[in-house]
Structure 1
Amino acid sequence: MRKLITVALSCLFLLPPSVAAAVPSRQVKVLTYNIHHGAGIDGVVDLERIAQVIEQSGADVIGLQEVDNHWSARSNWVDQAAWLAQRLELHFAFAANLDLPPVNTGEPRRQYGTAVLSRYPIRNFTNTLLPLYPTGEQRGLAVAELKVRGQELRFANTHLTSNNNAERLEQAHKVVELLSGSQEPTILAGDLNASPEKPEIKVLAEVWRDTWTEVGAGPGYTHEADHPTARIDYLLHTASLRPTSADVPVTFASDHLPVAASYTFCR
């Protein structure tokens, strides 16, 4: 409770008292979720289960990782981001970190990466490929520009490498570089594949605040879903956002658990 009160006071101090009293609070709820191409811990690919997790969270903006787009038979060649957006009646943008030619001429390209779903129109969307080592898998940083109830919000979504500490640290530094120089309220969501004490997380935490550390309760473990023992999925935010709650919904729809949080804009 003490840390929540401290965060709230620091947020209010960003505004003159007369302005803080006059401006109504603007809130946004977000979710980050590695969906494992829709495959649950039972090995069954079921996007409806993923959709229900998102729906039940009440999130306004969602960052998804491990999303297939006509990728292969493992996900029935489905454009998963488009399917989820249509099912949930949300706007979406997909970021292809792997982009391969189709099996047959005239078919869609085979893509794999991340996606952003949003109740609010996505005004601008970019994806920048992150540093890649010879034995690694290409990762990227997707950035969506949104306007939430009249307030600008930059929502960044990433999935750092899982099998090389040096590569992941370099990717973290690149994320900091790419997102620097903006005063926009920013949320960085993603599967960062590292626990909080690791150097790559400390690099990011020097720039953005760890939402779970501020308002979460318990260890916040997210992997593996059926017996979680590691916190590797994160929501980080700038000081211009005040987190009011955070939780890890329990679900077996993927091998990861999602992380949900609510924020109030400080300006």
Structure 2
Amino acid sequence: MYRPTARDRGGTFPAVRVMTFNIQHGQGVDGRVDLARIGAAIRGANVDVVGLQEVDRHFGARSRFRDQAGWLGRRLGMEVAYGGNRERSPCIPGVGRRQFGNAILSAFPITDRENIPLPRSGTHEQRGLLRVRIEAGGVVWRVYATHLQHDDPDERLVQARAIRQILGTPQHTVVLADLNAQPTTPEVRALTDALVDSWAAAGTGPGNTSASPAPTQRIDYVLHSADTRSRTVTVLTSPPASIASDHLPVLADLEANPDQ
């Protein structure tokens, strides 16, 4: 399958096209679970790397016990890294552990991967930060996918600060995230104090992503280090993207900045 390279993007410096997409285990706004629609949205955007949240892996009957990230990777001809954060014992002989978490799909080889648990309290859902390393256009990119706690701003702040510490001094770093918080909140500012919010840098309009198909909140983000530029960023509203999940995906063209 042909995949565009940095030169094909039309920019001066090495570039990647990235997407963040909370897929709600493939369940669309019509209540149907249909991974083919998720795949069509990704394929239609011609992305190099996509970070997915709410991804089932043999998790349950709601997704037919399918390895959703693996299925999408095969469908799209992309490499897959998966980070399971909720785990349960198998309930079907011969099928792996039941998992729910984040995934990263890449058109470039994934040379390293790690899933890091994030802080949680009480009975809250375990969250994680999935990291991969890829090389594109001669640049080594560190790409992360994450999904913060949905109903506790204090816990989100703790998780955001943990991510900030894990990132250290970010270089050619991209964070693809459902932060479950709007841009002015302390938890988002804990990250944007060190990372560039691509929408603030290059987006037009409110950039709302949730809940599809008529979103009123901007809670899904493409964040990147200061040595990277946002060339373009859009909320994808193609026919498959607008019905495939309760979130709309964010699509960004990022370029390595040689001046940083």
CA offset at residue 135 of structure 1? 3.0
Structure-1 residue corresponding to 2:181: 194
Structure-2 residue corresponding to 1:78: 66
- C-alpha contact 1:70 1:78 (8 A) present in aligned 2: yes
CA offset at residue 24 of structure 1? 5.1
Paired residue type of 1:111: Q
Matched residue SS, 1:115: strand
Paired residue type of 1:136: H
Structure-1 residue corresponding to 2:28: 40
Tell me whether 1:212 sits opposite 2:203 in the alignment. no
Structure 2, unpaired ranges of 5+: 1-10
Tell me whether 1:118 sits opposite 2:106 in the alignment. yes
Tell me whether 1:249 sits opposite 2:240 in the alignment. no
CA deviation string 1:98-139 (max 9, x = no partner):
111111454311001000000100000001000011131110
Tell me whether 1:29 sits opposite 2:17 in the alignment. yes
Matched residue SS, 2:86: strand
Structure-1 residue corresponding to 2:4: none
- C-alpha contact 1:225 1:257 (8 A) present in aligned 2: yes
Q: 1:24 to 1:198 in 2, by over 3 A?
A: closer
Tell me whether 1:265 sits opposite 2:252 in the alignment. no
1:89 is aligned, of 77, 80, 104, to 77
Task: Give me the whole-angstrom Cα distance separating, in 1, the residues matched to 2:92 and 2:252.
Answer: 42
2:221 is aligned, of 234, 238, 257, to 234
Task: Give me the whole-angstrom Cα distance separating, in 2, the residues matched to 1:24 and 1:246.
Answer: 17
Structure-2 residue corresponding to 1:7: none
CA offset at residue 32 of structure 1? 0.2
Task: Give me the whole-angstrom Cα distance separating, in 2, the residues matched to 1:232 and 1:85.
Answer: 25
Paired residue type of 1:264: E
Percent identity among equivalent residues? Answer: 42
CA deviation string 1:201-258 (max 9, x = no partner):
0110100010000100000000001220000000111111111100001111000000
Taking the TM superposition and a 5 Å limit, the aligned residue runs for 1:91-106 are 91-106=79-94
2:41 is aligned, of 24, 41, 53, to 53
Moved over 2 A (4+): 104-107
Task: Give me the whole-angstrom Cα distance separating, in 2, the residues matched to 1:233 and 1:68.
Answer: 19
Tell me whether 1:65 sits opposite 2:56 in the alignment. no
Paired residue type of 2:23: I
2:155 is aligned, of 147, 156, 167, to 167
TM-score of the two chains, using structure 1 as the length reference: 0.89
Paired residue type of 1:179: L
Task: Give me the whole-angstrom Cα distance separating, in 2, the residues matched to 1:260 and 1:124.
Answer: 23
Q: Which has the larger radius of gyration?
A: 1
- C-alpha contact 1:136 1:163 (8 A) present in aligned 2: no
Tell me whether 1:225 sits opposite 2:216 in the alignment. no
RMSD: 1.2
Paired residue type of 2:138: G
Tell me whether 1:177 sits opposite 2:165 in the alignment. yes
- C-alpha contact 1:145 1:155 (8 A) present in aligned 2: yes
Structure 1, unpaired ranges of 5+: 1-22
